[in-house]
Structure 1
Amino acid sequence: MSDNGTSFPQIERAEDEERMMTPVSPSLRFEKALYREGVTSIVAVDEVGRGALAGPVAVGMVVIDTAVKRIPPGLRDSKLLPEPVRESLEPLCRRWAMHHAVGLATAAEVDALGIMRCLGLAGARALAQLEQQGAVVHDSTLILDGNYDYLNPALMRPARVVTRIKADRDCASVAAASVIAKVHRDRMMIAHDSEYPGYGWASNKGYSTPEHFAAIAELGPSALHRMTWLKQPALIDIPE
């Protein structure tokens, strides 16, 4: 775990035990541990669309504080949920959070800047949305899924970021952010399916499938495809 300069030793000592437990569903255990260390507000962060062939990369965020209540029933990492369940959970996650936002970086921006810079760009846009909603994000601790802080390089003002591997699986707040971001991006790709017919985006959401590759071979890439990714197969991910 890293946190941009602030140490949480008690939480770090519990990491191995928590990973061995491998919880089936997320909880607020990690968030409450941060509260016990003096944190008063949390911004949970997760991305979707990183490995897609087409469409934007999205970074979802939710804000919770010490008054956070019981998590939405059935909440999981968005990748573990069937689409109808995600759709039914998404409004519950939005109501559960104090604030929520989804920032995007386009396929053209991914081609121009690279995926890591675009994750930061999308995250900065989500943070700006939260601030417009009245969230005081500069006093919050950000829980970022993964082991790399892609946010701070994109911010004008440094943020306190705690990275955590599998946070979308273990942390309820991050799971909620993942559901909101996933549903938001999926709906965009479904809408784009009628604008760019033939690629199957209503079902594959822009990810790599044999049918998607076959459509690209037949129709050529669209304006929403990541051209640099089509030339670098190692960047391509499986559907989320």
Structure 2
Amino acid sequence: MSSKTFPTLSREQELWASGSRFVIGMDEVGRGAIAGPVAVGVALIDRSDPRARTPWPEQLCDSKLISEKIRNQIVGPVTEWVVGSAVGMVSAAEIDSHGIIAALAKAGAMALDDLLADAHLRAQIVQDGATIILDGSHNWLGAMASGIPVVVQTKADRDCVSVAAASVISKVQRDNFMIRLANETPGYLFEGHKGYASGAHIDAIRTLGPSVHHRHSWLTKILADEQLEGIGE
């Protein structure tokens, strides 16, 4: 664990000091996969809530830096530590139809809609202010932010507690979705690679052809054009 960089509340505290009572960490999972949905998670921290002054699960960090076993162990405590969380997912078919950036924005909007379904919370945000910390180098959420200001930070999933929490929550939920998908669509080994382009996954696509859960427009470098013809008709 000593080689890992663990997140802090420093950025969230800066935003609290600037006037936002709520900070919403946001992170995506599955952007680079060739099958399955892209997922966007949100995790809300409230400076007025006692949980903001208590330690978060000590193994919490960017979901890419911890094992599946650890993620599954801490996702419950992480979900309990934050004030609220949600995950939005957009299918492979929609990614093919509209592109990954539009899919990310839609998934982020879905997660925010779920998080803000509580009318009391929405009223508090309007009254006391909120800011979204978006992991990355550009604001792919754009106009889908529900009117909430967005700050973009590279490596926020590594450095910011709220974003690390969103990272773990969304990663576990998407992984569980891919495991269920493996039971429904056997042969592609989704339960292992979770839709990413492993050697075993590519071999399965070449043997079985793409499934309806694959991002067909992403497979042109893997499969010959004629293998893609007629898929989904």
**TM bucket by the smaller chain?**
0.7 to 0.9
Partners of 1:113 and 1:140 in 2: CA distance: 29
* Residues paired across the two proteins, number: 211
Q: Which residue of 2 aligns with 1:55?
A: 36
What amino acid does structure 2 have at the position aligned with 1:212?
Answer: H
Return the alpha-carbon distance in structure 2 between the equivalents of residues 85 and 133 of structure 1: 31
Per-residue CA deviations over 1:44-64 (Å, capped at 9, x if unaligned) read 100000010100000000111
Q: 1:121 aligns with which of 106, 122, 125?
A: 106
Show the counterpart of 2:11.
Answer: 30
Q: Which one of 56, 60, 63 corresponds to residue 75 of structure 1?
A: 60
Q: In the TM superposition, what whole-angstrom CA distance separates every residue of 1:56-112 from its partner, at most 9, and x where no partner exists?
A: 000000111113132211111000010000001101111011110000111011001
Q: Partners of 2:6 and 2:33 in 1: how far apart?
A: 26
- What is the correspondence of 1:76-225 to structure 2 with a 5 Å cutoff? 76-134=61-119, 135-136=121-122, 139-155=129-145, 157-225=146-214
In structure 2, relative to structure 1, the CA distance for the partners of 1:23 and 1:90 (3 Å cut) is: closer
Q: Per the alignment, in what secondary structure is the counterpart of residue 109 of structure 2?
A: helix
Output the TM-score relative to the length of structure 1: 0.84
Match of 1:16 in 2: none
Counterpart contact for 1:23–1:170, Cα < 8 Å: no
CA contact (8 A) 2:34 2:214 kept: yes
Look up the match of 2:46.
Answer: 65
How far apart in 1 are the matches of 2:26 and 2:65?
17
Name the amino acid aligned to 1:125.
Answer: M
SS at match of 2:89: strand
Distance 2:4 2:160 in 1: 10
Give the distance between the partners of 1:160 and 1:52, measured in 2 at CA. Answer: 29
Q: Give distance in 2, aligned partners of 1:177 and 1:158.
A: 20
Runs of at least 4 residues of structure 1 off by over 3 A?
Answer: none
Residues 36 and 232 of structure 1: CA distance in aligned 2, closer, same or farther (over 3 Å): farther
- Uncovered stretches (5+) of structure 1, i.e. residues with no partner: 1-21, 234-240
Opposite residue 86 of structure 2, the aligned amino acid is A
| Segment drifting more, 175-184 vs 27-36 | 27-36
Counterpart of 1:3? Answer: none
Deviations 1:172-205 (A, max 9, x none): 1100000000000000000110111111111100
What is the one-letter code of the residue matched to 1:60?
G
Q: Using a 3 Å threshold, how does the CA distance of structure 1 residues 226 and 153 change in structure 2: closer, same or farther?
A: same
1:153 offset after TM fit, Å? Answer: 3.1
Gaps of 5+ in 2: 223-233
Q: CA deviation at 1:229?
A: 0.8
Shift of 1:23: 7.8
**RMSD of aligned C-alpha atoms?**
1.6
Question: How far off is 1:159 after superposition?
Answer: 2.5
TM-score (normalised: structure 2): 0.86
> Letter of the aligned partner of 1:146 in structure 2?
G
